[in-house]
C-alpha cells in the first residue's frame, strides 16, 4: 500500500470554527489532491497541488484553502466550518499528472454541528 496517512481520522466540530486536515505521504509523489465524498455524489475534487507551494482549485473549492510547504504534506483548511462541509475527506497522490492511478489515504470523517 502507498504510504499515505491522514489526520485526524475523525473530527466533530461546531459551525464557525476553523479546521485543518493533514495529509502526509512517504512516496515523494509530486501531485496531491483533496476530495470530498458525499452520498449521491462521486468523489469531488476540492483542491490539488502539483508541487511545493503550487496549488490550484478543483470543482468545489469554495470555503476551503490549502497549503503545501513540503513535498510530503498537504493541508486542507476550512476557515469557518459550515454544516454543508460535513463529509468524508480523502487525500490522494499521483506520481505525475499523466499517470492514471491515484492512491488514496484512509479518509477523514468530519462532522460539523
Partner 1 sequence: RKEVEQDPGPFNVPEGATVAFNCTYSNSASQSFFWYRQDCRKEPKLLMSVYSSGNEDGRFTAQLNRASQYISLLIRDSKLSDSATYLCVVKGSVEGSSNTGKLIFGQGTTLQVKP
Which residues bind to partner 1, rule: CB under 8 A?
A: 35, 40-45, 48, 56-58, 90, 97-98, 100-102, 104-107
Residues 44-60: b if buried by 16+ CB within 10 A, e if exposed? ebbbbbeeeeebeebeb
Q: Residue 30 Cβ, how far from partner 1 at the closest point, in Å?
A: 12
Q: Residue 5 Cβ, how far from partner 1 at the closest point, in Å?
A: 11
Q: Residue 78 Cβ, how far from partner 1 at the closest point, in Å?
A: 21
CB 79 within 8 A of CB 19: no
Q: Which C-beta is closer to partner 1: that of 17 or that of 84?
A: 84
Q: Which C-beta is closer to partner 1: that of 42 or that of 62?
A: 42
| Residue partners of 39: CB distance under 8 A and separation at least 6 | none
Element spanning 43, H or E: none
Q: Which C-beta is closer to partner 1: that of 45 or that of 75?
A: 45
Amino acid at each position: 500500500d502507498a504510504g499515505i496517512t491522514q489526520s485526524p481520522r475523525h473530527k466533530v466540530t461546531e459551525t464557525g470554527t476553523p479546521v485543518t486536515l493533514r495529509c502526509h505521504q512517504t512516496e515523494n509523489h509530486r501531485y496531491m489532491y483533496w476530495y470530498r465524498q458525499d452520498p449521491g455524489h462521486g468523489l469531488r475534487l476540492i483542491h490539488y497541488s502539483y508541487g511545493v507551494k503550487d496549488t490550484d482549485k478543483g470543482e468545489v473549492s469554495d470555503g476551503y484553502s490549502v497549503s503545501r510547504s513540503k513535498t510530503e504534506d498537504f493541508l486542507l483548511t476550512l476557515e469557518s466550518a459550515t454544516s454543508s462541509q460535513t463529509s468524508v475527506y480523502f487525500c490522494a497522490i499521483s506520481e505525475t499528472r499523466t499517470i492514471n492511478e491515484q492512491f488514496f489515504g484512509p479518509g477523514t470523517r468530519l462532522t460539523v454541528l
